[in-house]
Structure 1
Amino acid sequence: MTVPAMIFTDLDGTLLDHETYDWSPAAPLLGRLTAAGIPVCLASSKTAAEMVPLRAAMGLSAAPLICENGAGIVPGGEATATGADRSAYARLRAALQALPVELRQGFEGFGDMGPARIAEVTGLTPQAAEAAATRAFSEPGLWTGTQGELAAFLDLLAGQGVTGRRGGRFLTLSFGGTKADRMEEIAMHYGHPPTIALGDAPNDREMLEAAGHGIVIANPHGAPLPELRGEAEGRIRRSTETGPNGWSIEVSRLVSDLDIAI
């Protein structure tokens, strides 16, 4: 199966507004991209339970999605997120619980919070918070310790095969796999078309750098990404507008520059 191009996009702070989670400003362009046969693949730290309904609402159900920061893929066409093997998540929680108390207490993971607390720290509805708590591969959370304690925390977890990634809001722990790894896997299935990646946070960096073209979406709620590999040559560009407005402006501009008809 070949397509004119593929778009891989982060959600929070990128296609979704950082504060409201609204994506409606991008809806007209998403419709045009779909009509032109350009898959838009969502790539987020969110769970499959969160992303599958959102993918359907956006009209993107035919495209695969990348969930839990690259730890898993949900193929296109699947209307529900069922039957996930949660053994990796159980091992991840066990690794956390085995840490010294003084380090463990600096990390409040979603498994510690429960849906009510998740709703409080994310602004999600109770129903959406339930979906966010339904994890299979990774554990996002809030770090409240010092930078020195964080280094020790991550070092001990690394001994058990656990890696930590900073996103726009959370520190996410997993047994590896990145959005970039999954992007390559999906693009190969489609015959290696031109790839466009969009993101706003450190956990998007590999995906942005690995794509044929990258767009960093401005997000004043977090520290700006440093200059990325390929940015000086113009392969990666940055938006001035935030969220779905910036997303639409920059994607429209890039596909025009690439002479891709939509």
Structure 2
Amino acid sequence: MNLLIFSDLDGTLLDHASYDFAPARPMLAWLAAQNVPVVLASSKTGAEIAGWQARMGLGRWPAIVENGAALLEGAPDDTGYRAIRAALTTLPAPLRAHFRGFGDMSVAEVAEVTGLPPGEAALAKQRAHSEPGLWSGTEAEAEAFLAALAPHGLSARRGGRFLTLSQGGTKAGRMAELIARFRPELTIALGDAPNDTEMIAAADRGVIVRNDAGTPLPRLAGEDSGRILRTTRSGPEGWVEGLTRILRQTGIATTGEAHG
């Protein structure tokens, strides 16, 4: 089965509130038995992703970390993160005050804003390539904030909870690197947030997983043709729903074969 799957984590393969992925376990086991790579693509750090790969049995595959800033392969280098933090210190105080990044927070504060237990919150602070944070200003102030960071080579992407700063790289860009490496016949991408849209659109088949707690995704071009579908369920149940529908439509497997 020459299939390659790219999946977001929070709100997609993981429940938005509880971070549970139990409903997806049978599908993940079935995919593993078929030797289908499932590449996790998330805003999470390499340290966090490695833990989820271990829990899900996905450790043999690469992963896309920190919103596409890098691939999880080899030892992390935090040079990029230190440059982001240095750039923040150059901003006018009124603009800087509206952005509270993970580097500005204690482990307890990161745990509070993410809903993660303290141990995982500590891993979320071990950043190498990007800085997520809470934005408290207006849209106009956000534009000024990003314009001030642009000369430092920084840009931002919005996810389900955070505004994330990085020196570039997207989930879709890393996805293209892995497609060139694996040369699959079919690619499937699943996500729930605005920072997933490029990845979903770049796949042969895409799945927008329902997330009533997040920012609604606009209608994507591939939805009219049926290349991209939306699920009726959320989180891991929606993840299974979307994959099952595509596997049935493409003749790869029926619902029962896929996760029964």
> Taking structure 1 as the reference length, what is the TM-score of the superposition?
0.94
In structure 2, the residue matched to 1:244 is 236
Q: Do the aligned partners of 2:65 and 2:72 also contact (CA within 8 Å) in 1? A: yes
Structure 2 counterpart of 1:189, from 181, 185, 188: 181
Q: Secondary structure at the match of 1:84?
A: coil
Q: What are the superposed Cα offsets for residues 88-115 of structure 1, whole Å, 9 maximum, x if unpaired?
A: 1011011111100000000000000121
CA RMSD across the alignment: 1.1
1:228 paired to 2:220: yes
Instruction: State the partner residue of 2:68.
Output: 70
Q: Do structure 1's residue 217 and structure 2's residue 215 form an aligned pair? A: no
Of residues 139-148 and 190-199 in structure 1, the stretch that sits farther from structure 2 once superposed is 190-199
Question: What is the DSSP-based 3-state SS (H/G/I as helix, E as strand, rest coil) of the residue aligned with 2:20?
Answer: coil
Match of 2:111 in 1: 119
Gaps of 5+ in 1: 76-81
CA distance in structure 1 between the aligned counterparts of 2:148 and 2:96, rounded to whole angstroms: 11
Whole-angstrom distance in 1 between the partners of 2:214 and 2:201:
19
How far has the Cα of 1:27 moved from its partner? 0.4
- Does 2:54 match 1:56? yes
Corresponding residue number in structure 1 for 2:25: 27
SS of 1:214's equivalent in the other structure is strand
- Separation in 2, partners of 1:9, 1:236: 14
Aligned partner of 2:249 in structure 1 is 257
**Structure 1 CA distance, aligned partners of 2:235 and 2:76?**
30
Residues 108 and 141, structure 1, Cα contact 8 Å, conserved in 2: yes
Amino acid paired to 2:59: S
1:88-103 map, 5 Å: 88-103=80-95
16, 24, 35: which is aligned to 1:18?
A: 16
- The structural deviation recorded for 1:159 is 2.0
Query: TM-score normalized by structure 2?
Result: 0.95
Percent identical pairs in the alignment equals 53
Match of 1:7 among 5, 8, 19: 5
Q: Retained in 2: the 8 A contact 1:187–1:193? A: no
Contact 1:12 1:18 (C-alpha < 8 Å) held by counterparts:
yes
**Cα shift at 1:233:** 1.2
Residues 206-234 of structure 1: per-residue CA shift (max 9 Å, x gap): 10111111000010012210011212111
Contact 1:154 1:164 in 2 (8 A): yes
Aligned counterparts of 1:33 and 1:85: Cα–Cα separation in 2: 32
- Provide the C-alpha distance between the structure 2 equivalents of 1:206 and 1:150, rounded to a whole number of angstroms: 22
In the other structure, the counterpart of 1:78 is none
